[in-house]
Amino acid sequence: MSSLAQFLDPAVIQEVGRLDLRARFIVEGFLAGLHSSPLRGYSVEFSEHRKYVPGDDPRTIDWKVYARTDRLFVRQYQAETHLACHLLVDTSASMGYVGVLGGSGPASPFDVSSGSGPWPQPAAKLLYAVHLAAALGYLVTQQRDAVGLGLLGEGLLELRPARARRAHLADLLAVLAGVVPRGTTGLAQGIHAALGRIPHRGVIVLISDLLTDTAAVLEALHHIRYRGHDLIVFHVLDAAETAFPFEGPVRLEDPESGATLVVEAGGVRAAYRAALERWRGELRERVTALRGDYVALDTATPFDKALVEFLVERARRR
């Protein structure tokens, strides 16, 4: 595995201490695996040729045209409209669920009071969401577009407006590096509040486990599209939540309400997985009906899959 491509593995990237380096390695490792860059490059596009006049910058001369016509023409460009991308990251307590990367073995609930740091294992959903948001922010900034950040918990906890400066990205990464999962999920309320503070149309990227009232979330997503934004939903679950690899009696605990349920894992596994697929299928269908894009992920998914989905679906919007 190459020194860059290895950071497409969520288990490996936690070994890097700084979030800015993690984001850079994820994106550069991802780009290294492509035949060509998916980024636009400079934020200008070719408009037309015109005849060269004395005083024009010689660097704008199209020498290929000169070779064919023996006449000097210069390229004219027009500025492209900058993309404004806001990343909305769910930081509620359910995002702190810690399973086992790769979907085997027991899971343990997140403990905010533990002294081992906010994420004792690399499989935690919020850590994965933070890495994904950081990589997307890095990617958007690399293509010289603007990126903003919203943290969602019991409502809108914080919103940083979209800007295209690298210093701004550093500020956003500092915010992401400090998030801790806590509190109940007020996803819909947070989205509505964020939309009230985002002045221009752009791209809204929601990163969440969506473990809340589905009807309220879908109404909030409809609000995003009604306001004219492109919509991309990254639905992030823990690998254990998708595989349900447990054996024997298992005590399930809601990290937000504290409610518990004891089940025989083998007796409910098939029904659980079927219900999960129905839920994901409904979300995909409803988001697609809104002309949005839905990406189902778990914490064992390499980051290149998530980034490819993002770029492919974004290209469909253009």
Position 15 in a domain:
no
Q: Which of 68-82, 134-148, 281-295 has the lowest mean pLDDT?
A: 68-82
Does any domain span residue 58? yes
Q: Are residues 55 and 124 in the same domain?
A: no
Q: pLDDT tens for residues 5-19?
A: 666 778 777 667 678
Say whether both 138 and 234 belong to one domain: yes
Shared domain for 57 and 123, answered yes or no, is: no
Q: Say whether both 211 and 92 belong to one domain.
A: yes
pLDDT at 113 over 60: no
pLDDT in tens, 53-88: 777 778 778 888 888 888 888 876 544 456 799 999
Shared domain for 167 and 203, answered yes or no, is yes
Per-residue HEC secondary structure of the chain comes to CCCCHHHHCHHHHCCCCCHHHHHHHHHHHHHHCCCCCCCCCCCEEEEEEEECCCCCCHHHECHHHHHHHCCCEEEEEEECCCCEEEEEEECCHHHHCECCCCCCCCCECCCCCCCCCCCCCCCCHHHHHHHHHHHHHHHHHHCCCEEEEEEECCCEEEEEEEECCHHHHHHHHHHHHCCCCCCCCCHHHHHHHHHCCCCCCCEEEEEECCCCCHHHHHHHHHHHHHCCCEEEEEEEECHHHHHCCCCCEEEEECCCCCCEEEEEHHHHHHHHHHHHHHHHHHHHHHHHHCCCEEEEEECCCCHHHHHHHHHHHHHHHC
Same domain, 133 and 272: yes
Distance separating alpha carbons of residues 162 and 147, to the nearest angstrom = 4
Angle formed by the axes of helices 214-226 and 187-195, to 10°? Answer: 10
Task: Let me know whether 130 and 57 are in one domain.
Answer: no
Selection from 82, 198, 143, 292 nearest residue 309 by Cα: 292
On whether the CB atoms of residues 158 and 150 are closer than 8 A, the answer is: yes
Average pLDDT over residues 48-56: 77
How many angstroms separate the CA atoms of 13 and 17, rounded? Answer: 9
User: Are 149 and 131 in a shared domain?
Assistant: yes
Q: What predicted TM-score, i.e. pTM, was given to this entire model?
A: 0.78
**Judgement on whether residues 218 and 251 belong to the same structural domain of the protein:** yes
Number of folded domains that form the chain? 2
Residue 317 scores a pLDDT above 70: no
Instruction: Please state the separation of Cα 209 from the chain's center in Å.
Output: 12
Calculate mean pLDDT across residues 116-138: 74
Here the CATH number for the domain that contains residue 130 is 3.40.50.410
Higher-confidence residue: 112 or 241?
Answer: 241
- Higher pLDDT: 166 or 189? It is 189
Is residue 18 a part of any domain in this protein?
A: no
Residue 14 belongs to some domain of the structure: no
Quote the domain boundaries for residue 108: 82-317
User: How far apart are alpha carbons 234 and 123 in whole angstroms?
Assistant: 16
The verdict on residue 88 lying in a domain is yes
Instruction: Give the end of a domain, one of 27, 59, 79.
Output: 79
Between the two ends of the chain, the Cα-to-Cα distance in Å is 34
Does residue 35 belong to any structural domain of this protein? no
Same domain flag for 282 and 245:
yes
Same domain, 88 and 205: yes
Average pLDDT of the chain? Answer: 81
Percent of the chain topping pLDDT 70: 80
Same domain, 221 and 198: yes
- Residue 106 lies inside a defined structural domain of this protein: yes
Of the listed ranges 16-25, 32-41, 168-177, 307-316, the least confidently predicted one is 32-41
| 280 assigned to some structural domain | yes
- Domain final residue pick, 34, 56, 79: 79
CA 39 – CA 72 distance, rounded (Å): 31
100 closest CA partner among 261, 242, 260, 306: 242
Final residue in a domain of this structure, among 79, 96, 131: 79
